[in-house]
């Protein structure tokens, strides 16, 4: 393919993205001098765009590369081309994430979550039985698995039982982050899986009827996906951390939900930094215990439960 000239690149980058999308059948919602592509929750202004999901944006060429899966030359030519196939929305295909090898034991994971993070043993056991929580073989991390609508692993988040290490496994799709689906109309959203388990531990009565999602960040992508695939969910409770990042995200997500027509949006804020610290205080444990103190595990509580 001949090399692109700077004039071609500049011309492509100056393309009006609202016109580009509209010509391909994409429905946009106008807000003042901006447009919202609701399918992706991307804001568009002229040739510029911004995604609150991923805190990223740019100009037209990068937009087409990202959302139409084009290489740089293909994106430039697409933007400079008068005729292109229409955008057809549909269910997103994604590669299934490669999960860490599972340990035969759940001992270290269980003791860390119970003794250090004060998670209720019955709650731990429930998620282990569902196959969305386990201990990995190599490092004995807590592994939180998010599954797609077919029950396949689409997201994996690891949390060390012996250090501050935490990581989302490469290849994870953020919309499938760790979650639980109940049957009523309410979903609770948290920043981290452990905070989700801590909140459930403090609100055990009929907890299974509700839905819960751990964003594994301050992005609303996982929450928006759950709302899209479960139309019965119309009451949203935002339970993000009690810090600047968490509360700024709460306001941003609430605004995004209102734009999508969700009016029953409530906010719950932990008294301490997060819900697990609240649970630790209720359990008589000093909040913020260092993970390396997990060596203080005790055998009896673990032995009382069957985790198979």
**Residue 33, domain CATH:** 3.90.580.10
Give the count of alpha carbons within 13 A of 191, CB side only: 20
The domain that holds 251 is classified in CATH as 3.40.1360.10
Last residue of a domain, one of 79, 94, 109: 79
Structural domain count of the chain: 2
Say which residue, 56 or 49, is predicted with more confidence: 49
Cβ atoms of 294 and 108 within 8 Å: the answer is yes
User: Residue 167 domain-assigned?
Assistant: no
Neighbours of 81 (CB within 10 A): 10
What mean pLDDT do residues 272-284 have?
Answer: 95
* pTM greater than the 0.75 cutoff: no
- Calculate the average pLDDT of the chain: 85
User: Residue 160 domain-assigned?
Assistant: no
User: Residue 20 domain-assigned?
Assistant: yes
Assess whether 263 and 193 both reside in one domain: yes
User: Residue 278 domain-assigned?
Assistant: yes
Assess whether 234 and 285 both reside in one domain: yes
User: Residue 304 domain-assigned?
Assistant: no
Task: Please state, in angstroms and rounded to a whole number, the distance separating the CA atoms of residues 93 and 87.
Answer: 15
H/E/C letters for each residue in 234-266? CEEEECCCCCHHHHHHHHHHHHHHHHCCCCEEE
pLDDT at 82: 36
Assess whether 189 and 269 both reside in one domain: yes
SS3 206: coil
DSSP state letter for 274: S
pLDDT at position 42 over 50 = yes
Task: Please state, in angstroms and rounded to a whole number, the distance separating the CA atoms of residues 217 and 182.
Answer: 22
User: Residue 99 domain-assigned?
Assistant: no
Task: Please state, in angstroms and rounded to a whole number, the distance separating the CA atoms of residues 271 and 260.
Answer: 29
Neighbours of 302 (CB within 10 A): 19
pLDDT at 26: 83
pLDDT at 300: 35
Assess whether 270 and 126 both reside in one domain: yes
Assess whether 123 and 230 both reside in one domain: yes
294 confidence band (pLDDT: 50, 70, 90): very low
pLDDT at position 214 over 70 = yes
Range with lowest mean pLDDT among 57-61, 113-117, 250-254 = 57-61
User: Residue 290 domain-assigned?
Assistant: yes
Assess whether 123 and 264 both reside in one domain: yes
User: Residue 108 domain-assigned?
Assistant: no
Which tokens in the block code for residue 82? 């008068």
Cβ atoms of 20 and 79 within 8 Å: the answer is yes
Cβ atoms of 275 and 202 within 8 Å: the answer is yes
Assess whether 201 and 271 both reside in one domain: yes
Assess whether 192 and 258 both reside in one domain: yes
Assess whether 184 and 294 both reside in one domain: yes
Range with lowest mean pLDDT among 61-75, 167-181, 265-279 = 61-75
* Full domain range(s) for residue 68: 6-79
Assess whether 128 and 251 both reside in one domain: yes
pLDDT at 93: 53
Assess whether 124 and 59 both reside in one domain: no
Assess whether 128 and 263 both reside in one domain: yes
């Amino acid at each position: 393919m001949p090399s692109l000239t700077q004039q071609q690149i500049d011309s492509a980058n100056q393309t009006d993205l609202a016109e580009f999308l509209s010509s391909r059948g994409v429905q946009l919602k106008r807000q003042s001098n901006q447009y919202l592509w609701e399918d992706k929750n991307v804001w568009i202004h002229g040739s510029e765009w911004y995604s609150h999901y991923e805190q990223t944006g740019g100009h037209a060429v990068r937009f087409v590369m990202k959302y139409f899966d084009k290489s740089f030359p293909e994106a430039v030519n697409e933007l400079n081309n008068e005729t292109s196939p229409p955008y057809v929305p549909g269910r997103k295909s994604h590669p299934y994430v490669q999960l860490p090898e599972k340990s035969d034991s759940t001992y270290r994971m269980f003791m860390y979550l119970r003794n250090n993070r004060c998670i209720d043993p019955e709650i731990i056991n429930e998620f282990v039985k569902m196959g969305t929580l386990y201990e990995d073989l190599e490092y004995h991390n807590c592994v939180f698995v998010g599954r797609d609508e077919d029950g396949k692993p689409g997201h994996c988040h690891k949390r060390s039982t012996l250090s501050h290490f935490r990581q989302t496994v490469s290849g994870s799709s953020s919309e499938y982050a760790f979650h639980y689906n109940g049957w009523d109309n309410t979903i609770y959203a948290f920043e981290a899986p452990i905070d989700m388990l801590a909140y459930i531990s403090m609100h055990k009565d009929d907890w299974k009827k509700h839905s819960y999602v751990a964003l594994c960040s301050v992005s609303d992508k996982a929450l928006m996906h759950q709302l899209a695939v479960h139309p019965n969910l119309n009451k949203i409770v935002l339970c993000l951390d009690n810090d600047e990042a968490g509360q700024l995200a709460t306001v941003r997500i609430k605004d995004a939900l209102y734009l999508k027509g969700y009016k029953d949006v409530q906010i719950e804020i932990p008294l301490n930094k997060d819900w697990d610290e609240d649970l630790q205080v209720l359990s008589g444990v000093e909040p913020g215990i260092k993970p390396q103190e997990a060596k203080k595990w005790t055998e009896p509580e673990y032995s009382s439960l069957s985790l198979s």
